[in-house]
Amino acid sequence: MTATDLGLPQLGGLDLVPSTEEPQKAKDYKSDQEVRWCPGCGDYIVLNTMQSFLPTLGLKPENIVFISGIGCSSRFPYYMNTYGMHSIHGRAPAIATGLAVGRPDLSVWVVTGDGDALSIGGNHLVHALRRNVNIKILLFNNRIYGLTKGQYSPTSETGKVTKSTPMGSLDTPFNPVSLALGAEASFVGRALDSDKKGLTEVLTAAANHRGSALVEIYQNCPIFNDGAFDMLKDRDEAERRIIPLREGEPVIFGPESSDGELEYGVVRDPETGGLTVRKLAEVGVEQVVTHNPAAADPAQAFALSRLTGSDLAHTVTGIFRNVQAPSYDDLAREQVQTAMTKHPGDLQQLLRGNDTWTVS
Amino acid sequence: MSLSEVDEKVGDSSSTKLNRVVIRFAGDSGDGMQLTGDRFTSEAASFGNDLATLPNFPAEIRAPQGTLPGVSSFQLHFADYDILTPGDRPDVLVAMNPAALKANLADVPKSGIIIVNTDEFNKRNLTKVGYAANPLEDGSLENFQVYEVAMGTITQGALAETGLGKKDAERCKNMFALGLLSWMYHRPTESTEQFLRDKFAKKPDIAEANILAFRAGWNYGETTEAFAVTYEVAPAKLAPGTYRQITGNTALAYGVVASAELSKLPVLLGTYPITPASDILHELSKHKNFNVTTFQAEDEIAGIGAALGHAFGGGLGMTTTSGPGVALKSETIGLAVMTELPLVVIDVQRGGPSTGLPTKTEQADLLQAMFGRNGESPVPIVAPATPSDCFDAALEATRIALHYRTPVILLSDGSIANGSEPWLIPDVEKLPDLSVQYANEPNAPDDSGEFWPYLRDPETLARPWAVPGTPGLQHRIGGLEKQEGKGSISYDPDNHDAMVRIRQSKVDGIEVPDLTVDDPSGGEAKMLVLGWGSTYGPIGAAARRVRAKGMPVASAHLRNLNPFPANLGDVLRRYERVLVPEMNGGQLALLLRGKYLVDVRSYTKVAGLPFKAEELEQVFTDHIGEIA
Ligand SMILES: Cc1ncc(C[n+]2csc(CCOP(=O)(O)OP(=O)(O)O)c2C)c(N)n1
Ligand code: SF4
Ligand SMILES: [Mg+2]
């Protein structure tokens, strides 16, 4: 069932949130709290990006809410001059769901870490995504437990040596984008903390998307997992590794050759049915797949997500999926509205019921 | 409370007048005993009897047919005066198969009536439950009045013309049993026929078949001479007004709906199915027209999380569950304590620990409700006494939650949840106003124009409820300790100590009504029996019996378990002996001893079933004897 089938107007993510003409600045979104992340923490850059991005939405700041779980990243709401709740470990998507269902006039953001979202809160994450509640989930992935001082996390690469895994971690990590697509999330994106432009683009699209959005943000933790994403930040390395997704364009990347062509393209792999990276010179640009985030079938988006392995030899960034689907909270309100209009509640009548007797 | 039985000739058949009767319908879980019991209850209710019911069914949906674990029963006590319990022992046992007879026989008093469906008493079924010989033939039932009726066969015969298959026809035998009992007790029948027509509106042939079976049962009583007497139980002289029959879970659901209306707030029920609480979800999901949203979450944690999120947004957040679910919700309840947001947590207790006895009753979650969280985490507790009291208890829990901005735990239990009784329908106009004010302007005591989310109301100690969307009041709350007043994160030792005490004082200071003592002897009683929750009925019934024997005894019932009524300590100290019967290991007794240093005596039983009045009568008598 789609919103169109139900006769619902196709709303944007923020259409019911009151806006303001008042010009806003980044500093309007800074709270009076002293920021207490470690020096050099990637969380600072994301916070700054968020504070300069929000004014572009032109929303009334009192109608923006940040809800977080527990972890270094989850301190985020304290630093935003909006409404906020720093809740408990892993449960922010559930709390945000209850808020979003009751308050269509709010722009609700969830801030969570790789441990918060994918270990303790894995259940709530996948269910929030499959339900398609109108909340935006920012997953700060530093591939480590920061706040508890450096244990491996569900996104740490296998063999990771940490305080809790001196002989190396054993488990296979999650690829959060694959996980979200597997849960049929209607919006999935990925960006790097240091890529202000790329992150802002993804955030803007997420904010305007109606339904749940998962945005994975690679975030450096200089204290417990320093340099986890350095290969994506070194210019030369980044060119070979990062595969940026652009709507309607062929998926190509890599250093430019002298004739202005990029070196690599993503093509179908006839053996696996998935996608693979090939030199353009060998396969020709016509073989390269075109990116369509609005495709109803998430198969290609999923195949793209599989190009990112835990060694980050390739990392796909941008918006993997952005499809319109009815959001849970809209449907839930619709049911209540329908019931209230069709049979306005009469409490006395309800309490009486149909089977009464009178004692005189 | 003696039973006066007067034989009286009415018309042709002999009819005996009774003050009260206890009937137990027992059969296989597939036999429709709950429905049969429910219908007889409705008939008794519409006739004007006072009544109380006790459904008892297995946790399995269809335990193996014909076995002891598969037996499902429904006990109904109806009377011409106000009764307090579903009755200890059935005067009449309807046993649809050998398993039902075997499982229930021990409860039937000597010379009690047993009506059996002989069709099921074949070798195979008898062996299944370990009867070496047929109890209908070996004389083992000679102390009872046994009526043997081939209910299945007669029902099939009565439905022969309908064209219904044999199996389907046979399945209507529960309505035959209902018809027979309705005749025996002079029950009105129109409402049952109407009920069947409504229930099977989409399958008129099934509706007609059930009605035919029902009438066949009635006619069987009327025309055969098997049953020499019928019985009459006159309407009860209850307080004037309009009544309906109601179960605890329905009353709770209505209490939630009423809370939405009286507080003028939208309700979000975030919940996850669990016996015996699921029916509250089912009921509420039908009442969205009262601005009630039901959210069936992925687990209990998400359910209460959504309820808390809704509360943060300015709504009335509620969650329903049973003990295992409370365990999962504890961390979020702690968050609600810390963030001081209103939240109502309904725990319909069942047998524990762990999965325990899902369909049986117990009151062993009291200490879990009281202390089952990390840190000093006080939570108010309200416990309804009876099925209909659930409605008022829901309003009381909501009042406390909203007024004091705190999570509140409402402790119902399996017997209240599924049991039913007549309910004097409240006049909506007279229900309390539960509305509260949101904060709407900055409140800082300095001239900063800031909003301080932890600046409290000096009387209630409640913090302001400032909801997102209110300009200028942006603030952050969360699980970390907050600085009193300003509400920023604070790790200051003195502040934490102060905040712990303030949260405690806030709960301690909640206004709850004084405890009232019932002592018809006018103060002669030396013993006080104190109960809470569903022990209200059996304690009251036992106290009546003891008093009828000429022994004074005082009784009182706690509805607010945190905080306790202000006069509780004084009341306890007034008596030479205080006895607390509980369906747990002595949890309230432990609290009372700790708090009031009174040598409270505990009587406990954790059998998954309510106390019997006769059992408590004995216990009370023994205790009174000890202090005489
Ligand atoms: C119920 C519960 N279990 C464990 C913890 C301890 N804890 C706090 S944060 C955390 C992991 C955080 O990792 P992540 O989500 O990756 O956040 P980061 O600190 O890396 O931003 C853990 C295990 C807790 N606060 N609550
Ligand atoms: S521990 Fe790591 S993630 Fe946490 S604040 Fe410090 S640098 Fe950031
Ligand atoms: Mg982390």
Q: Is the pLDDT of residue B552 over 70?
A: yes
With a CB cutoff of 8 Å and minimum separation 6, the contacts of B139 are none
Say if residues B385 and B534 touch (Cβ distance below 8 Å).
yes
Say whether the ipTM exceeds 0.95: yes
With a CB cutoff of 8 Å and minimum separation 6, the contacts of B252 are B280, B320, B346, B348, B384, B390, B391, B393, B394, B410, B412, B417
**Hey, do B244-430 and B517-627 end up sharing a CATH topology, with the first three levels equal?**
yes
pLDDT of residue A59: 98
pLDDT of residue B10: 41
Backbone angles phi, psi at A84, to 5 degrees: -160, 155
For residue A90, report the distance from its CA to the centre of ligand 1, in Å. Answer: 8
B contacts of A31 (beta carbons < 8 Å): 476
Tell me which ligand sits closest to the C-alpha of residue A71.
1
A65 touches chain B (CB under 8 A): yes
A contacts of B48 (beta carbons < 8 Å): 357, 359
Among the four given CATH numbers 3.30.70.260, 3.40.50.300, 3.40.640.10, 3.40.920.10, the one describing domain B5-233: 3.40.920.10
Fold of B244-430: Rossmann fold (3.40.50)
Say if residues B314 and B321 touch (Cβ distance below 8 Å).
no
3-state secondary structure of B579: strand
Cβ-count burial of A250 within 10 angstroms (0-12 exposed, 13-18 middle, 19+ buried)? middle
Q: Which residue has the higher pLDDT, B60 or A8?
A: B60
**How far is residue B204 from each of residues A222, A354, B32, B214, measured CA to CA in Å?**
73, 21, 19, 15
pTM of the model: 0.94
A contacts of B444 (beta carbons < 8 Å): none
Using CA coordinates, name the residue in chain A closest to B427: A348
Domain boundaries, chain B: 5-233, 244-430, 517-627
Q: What is the pLDDT of residues B84-128, one digit of tens each?
A: 999 999 999 999 999 999 999 999 999 999 999 999 999 999 999
The answer to whether the CB of A224 is under 6 A from ligand 2 is: yes
Cβ <8 Å between B470 and A359 = no
- Helix B190-199 and helix B204-223, axial crossing angle in degrees, nearest 10: 160
Q: In whole angstroms, give the CA distance from residue A356 to residue B236.
A: 15
Which residue minimizes the CA distance to atom 2 of ligand 2?
Answer: A221
Which residue minimizes the CA distance to atom 5 of ligand 2?
Answer: A37
A121 touches chain B (CB under 8 A): no
pLDDT of residue B15: 84
Pocket test for ligand 2, best of A36, A44, A47, A72 (most atoms within 8 A of CB): A72
Cβ <8 Å between B291 and A342 = no
DSSP A32-54: SSPP-SPTT-HHHHHHHHHHHHH
Going by C-alpha positions, the residue among B337, B328, B380, B344 that lies closest to residue A91 is: B328
Tell me which ligand sits closest to the C-alpha of residue A143.
3
Cβ <8 Å between B240 and A360 = yes
Per-residue pLDDT of chain A (360 residues; tens, 9 = 90+): 444 455 555 799 999 999 999 999 999 999 999 999 999 999 999 999 999 999 999 999 999 999 999 999 999 999 999 999 999 999 999 999 999 999 999 999 999 999 999 999 999 999 999 999 999 999 999 999 999 999 999 999 999 999 999 999 999 999 999 999 999 999 999 999 999 999 999 999 999 999 999 999 999 999 999 999 999 999 999 999 999 999 999 999 999 888 888 999 999 999 999 999 999 999 999 999 999 999 999 999 999 999 999 999 999 999 999 999 999 999 999 999 999 999 999 999 999 998 888 888
Tokens of A103: 């308050």
- Min distance B370 CA to chain A CA atoms (Å): 21
Class of CATH domain B517-627: alpha beta
Q: In whole angstroms, give the CA distance from residue B229 to residue B91.
A: 14
| Minimum-distance CB partner of A339 among B235, B288, B313 | B288
B contacts of A84 (beta carbons < 8 Å): 475-478
Backbone angles phi, psi at A300, to 5 degrees: -70, -40
Of the candidate ranges A6-15, B325-334, B472-481, the one whose mean pLDDT is the lowest: A6-15
Q: In whole angstroms, give the CA distance from residue B454 to residue B464.
A: 7
